[in-house]
């Protein structure tokens, strides 16, 4: 029994080197979802009932992809935290995790609002002519995604940039790009819905760098397992 217990406790969980692909999946799924939702978005409420009749199914598919993008983002956060390792600081970790979770919460809230409006439309398509209901749902969804989620994404990138510059875990050009992306997301005053794609593109680049570094460390002669 003692030998068996020792065998179990000697095991250590290790993050798979390929786990960094989670960030790539997040970026791809988010981009597809966002494109499906907004590719034909109407410019004003007068077009809304016509737009729903033509694109409700496409938008539903787009909204349904967002939870899977969120799951991939959680994996990405775990990979980034694992890369920091023993250099992790409690203060910066709190900001890193908090901003990441709030980004997901705002994104899911926006998706849930849109999905709720689509569910109402599926039950009673005539209600689309009542512009006030869908105007409110669209305003809440857009504000949650474009204003609040973007700010949390900017905070997330800013904190990681600070961690990387203090630890040297990322090249300086990546740190500079991270700060630039963070400032753009935090202080952009334009209400451009496509500005949201800055964050997934940044996550994609970070994931590629982590993936390349993980596989280089795993090559023979580099001290990998």
Task: Label residue 39 by pLDDT band (50, 70, 90).
Answer: confident
Task: Label residue 12 by pLDDT band (50, 70, 90).
Answer: very low
**Can you give the pLDDT at residue 20?**
76
Please give the average per-residue pLDDT across 66-84, as a whole number: 91
C-alpha closest to that of 164 among 176, 153, 180, 155: 176
Both tokens of residue 65? 């992809």
Task: Label residue 191 by pLDDT band (50, 70, 90).
Answer: low
Better-scored residue on pLDDT, 49 or 143? 143
Core vs surface per residue 22-49: b (16+ CB within 10 A) or e: bbbbbbebbbebbebbeeeeeeeeeebb
φ/ψ region of 168 (left if φ > 0, alpha if ψ in -120 to 50, else beta) reads left
**What are the extents of the domains in the chain?**
20-214
Asked if residue 54 has pLDDT above 90, the reply is no
Task: Label residue 71 by pLDDT band (50, 70, 90).
Answer: very high
C-alpha closest to that of 210 among 176, 160, 162, 166: 160
- Least reliable range by pLDDT among 105-109, 125-129, 150-154, 198-202: 125-129
Task: Label residue 8 by pLDDT band (50, 70, 90).
Answer: very low
What is the Rg, in whole angstroms, of the alpha carbon atoms belonging to the chain? 21
Task: Label residue 44 by pLDDT band (50, 70, 90).
Answer: low
CA–CA distance, 8 with 158 (Å, rounded to integer): 40
Asked if residue 225 has pLDDT above 60, the reply is no
Global pTM reads 0.82
**Can you give the pLDDT at residue 189?**
65
Please give the average per-residue pLDDT across 152-175, as a whole number: 93
Asked if residue 114 has pLDDT above 70, the reply is yes
DSSP string across 67-96? HHHHHHHHHHHHHHHHHHGGG--HHHHHHH
CB-based burial label for 62 (10 Å; 0-12, 13-18, 19+): buried
**Can you give the pLDDT at residue 135?**
76
Please give the average per-residue pLDDT across 173-197, as a whole number: 87
């Amino acid at each position: 029994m003692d030998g068996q217990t020792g065998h179990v406790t000697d095991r250590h969980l290790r993050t798979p080197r390929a786990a960094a692909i989670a960030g790539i999946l997040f970026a791809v799924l988010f981009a597809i979802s966002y494109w499906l939702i907004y590719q034909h978005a109407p410019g004003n409420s007068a077009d809304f009932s016509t737009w729903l009749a033509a694109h409700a199914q496409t938008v539903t598919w787009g909204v349904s992809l967002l939870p899977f993008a969120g799951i991939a983002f959680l994996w990405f956060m775990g990979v980034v935290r694992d890369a920091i390792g023993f250099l992790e600081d409690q203060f910066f970790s709190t900001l890193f995790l908090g901003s990441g979770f709030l980004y997901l919460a705002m994104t899911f809230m926006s998706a849930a609002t849109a999905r709720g409006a689509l569910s109402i439309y599926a039950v009673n398509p005539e209600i689309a002519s009542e512009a006030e209901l869908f105007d409110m749902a669209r305003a809440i969804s857009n504000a949650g995604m474009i204003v609040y989620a973007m700010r949390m994404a900017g905070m997330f990138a800013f904190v990681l940039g600070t961690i990387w510059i203090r630890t040297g875990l990322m090249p300086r050009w990546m740190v500079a790009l991270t700060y630039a992306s963070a400032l753009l997301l935090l202080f952009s005053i334009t209400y451009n819905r496509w500005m949201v794609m800055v964050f997934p593109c940044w996550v994609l680049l970070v994931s590629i760098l982590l993936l390349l570094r993980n596989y280089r460390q795993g090559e023979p002669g580099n001290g990998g397992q």
